[in-house]
Amino acid sequence: MTERVAFIGGGNMGRAILGGLVERGYPASALVVADPLAATRDALQRDFGVSVTPDNVQAVDGADVVVLAVKPQQMREVVTGLAGTLVRRRPLLLSIAAGITTTSLRNWAGVELPLVRAMPNTPALIGRGATALYATPETPAAARALTDTLLATTGLVLWVEDEAALDAVTALSGSGPAYIFLLIECLERAGTELGLPPETARQLALATASGAAELATRAKVDPATLRAQVTSKGGTTERALEVFREGGFAPLVSRALEAASARAAELSREFGKA
């Protein structure tokens, strides 16, 4: 039997997971999305053939899995508005909101449910996502297995045993694609400043980032070894890496992730109150 999955929110991250499911064969007839914006609903229906509605309760009624894909500041209102239906249906509740704890979700729902928090990222749309999951101790093995089945269609899936670890996951992989996009932007801009045509610089930057990531994924050695292998003594790569080191590149990356992780914890305190 194919589980009926309701998405509450059809924004970027919800769309990425939804698209990953459809692209990898999950039947569109088993998927429904609730979103307040008509333009968003129309786009999702057109692109993926799923059912859409502006009504959260209508979407959840009959669902086996409810994916909460709304912003952290909206989560309390959304879950409390669904509480009556959640009590009656007892679906698996899967939240992808940064910072909102399972304790807050359970309190707002007003009932003990199979409950999983996920921190995915947008490459899920092309099946290359990275998602970390945490399940409450009360969540049965069958619900965990179902979550695995659903999200494995979107890329790498890993479980963490400590919910607090999701703040670090948010900083590393949840926000991580934006860091890579920024690096690509910088490479492209620097290439044009050195005299390359903009389109040439863009294609080279994109292919370099994609190829390096794929090589690091396939290689049997760690990234530090790969870096050393392409850094000839006295060569161009060594000169560029020296500039990165002098500019404090590694400490800057650490500070950026620390800031993102701290913000995830702040979101919990700001929007996770019962």
Same domain, 157 and 21: yes
CA distance 267 to 72: 7
Number of domains in the chain: 2
Query: Residue 1: what pLDDT?
Result: 64
Question: 18 with 112, same domain?
Answer: yes
Give residue 21's pLDDT. Answer: 87
- Give the residue ranges of the chain where pLDDT is below 50: none
89 HSE (CA, 13 A, CB side): 22
Answer yes or no: do 154 and 192 share one domain. no
Domain span holding position 29: 5-163
270 within a domain of the structure (yes/no): no
Q: Do 33 and 85 lie in a common domain?
A: yes
Q: Please check whether residue 111 lies inside any domain of the structure.
A: yes
Q: Which of 184-189's residues contact partners 24+ apart within 8 Å by CB, and which partners?
A: 184/209
Q: What is residue 271's predicted lDDT score, i.e. its pLDDT?
A: 80
Under 8 Å between Cβ of 52 and 45: yes
Residues 221, 116 within the same domain: no
Distance CA 202, CA 88 (A): 53
Claim to verify: residue 152 and residue 231 sit in the same structural domain = no
Domain-located, residue 169: no
Q: What pLDDT sits at residue 23?
A: 84
Specify the pTM: 0.87
Helix (H) or strand (E) holding 221: none
Let me know whether 22 and 150 are in one domain: yes
Residue 34 corresponds to which tokens in the numbers above?
Answer: 């609730």
